[in-house]
Structure 1
């Protein structure tokens, strides 16, 4: 069998489907928190899960726009913008829609381009995209620890 250098392991749509599966699960983790603890609970000096979720929102929405256009906003995620769980979940849902809407506008070659994402992180865009997903999984794991410390069973991690 002859193989070519252009053969794909996974399509862009399959990557998006995986990412959106992670986003559905992370949304369930956000929803599992009691309101007060979402914004105030912390272990070992880590940020609240609300701040972690806000970082994911502020990275992924503008990030997918940067993937598509090469125009990168400055990443500003350290300030608490959302004050209630409902506001945070709405922002999460809006970002999920933005990702879905913009995804098909990303030219396939862009994933191989090098960019300075958010004016700070240089590298190939497939790596930047994988970082968005890795970052979410990492913080979701912290959310699982928080929920367990609060005596709350987190959503099953395989239910994406």
Structure 2
């Protein structure tokens, strides 16, 4: 049996499987679903409920927020610092669910503002995210999405443990 080996060529690299606009739509679909998970939590449980030593979901949501804001700036401009909005993965959650959702929406608008400024070729450049994660931009970007999916999954477990039906995972 013959094995096909795949080698990347300039032609293959320039082939588009998904456009930047479609990639943004995919990410924003995940963010829309993660927002629904935040909304599903009773406020007191959002800040207090935990299983097995995991952080409460408000803290997990803040990690998603704190990676997305500097992450989009890093993807676009190579600036992986925690500038405006002044957020990072250690920023404590705001005091209320409404404020948390407002912050989520602010970052969503920020992403929509920055995304069109990313040249398509940027996704194949190499960078050093946060001074410690080296790789191509597309890989660093996919980590942001994967991290969100991972923490949203924890939120689903929390909601089920609280007797709350989580949003359908495919409803993005």
Is 1:126 the counterpart of 2:134? The answer is no
Q: Which residue of 1 aligns with 2:167?
A: 155
Shift in Å, 1:61:
1.2
Distance 1:16 1:79 in 2: 25
Secondary structure of 1:123's counterpart equals strand
Gaps of 5+ in 1: none
Q: Is the 8 A contact 2:66 2:90 kept in 1?
A: no
Distance 1:26 1:142 in 2: 11
Is 1:48 the counterpart of 2:56? The answer is yes
Shift in Å, 1:79:
4.1
Give the length in aligned residue pairs: 157
Residue number among 3, 13, 24 corresponding to 2:21 in the alignment: 13
Q: Which residue of 2 aligns with 1:67?
A: 75
Residue number among 75, 92, 99 corresponding to 1:80 in the alignment: 92
User: Could you tell me the TM-score, scaled by structure 1's length?
Assistant: 0.94
Runs of at least 4 residues of structure 1 off by over 6 A?
none
Question: Rg bigger for which structure?
Answer: 2
Q: Which residue of 1 aligns with 2:109?
A: 97
Distance 1:90 1:24 in 2: 13
Deviation track 1:45-74 (CA, whole Å, cap 9, x = no partner) reads: 000110011001010111101111111115
Q: How big is the alpha-carbon RMSD for the aligned residues of Structure 1 and Structure 2?
A: 1.2
Distance 1:157 1:10 in 2: 22
User: Could you tell me the TM-score, scaled by structure 2's length?
Assistant: 0.88
Secondary structure of 1:36's counterpart equals helix
Gaps of 5+ in 2: 1-10
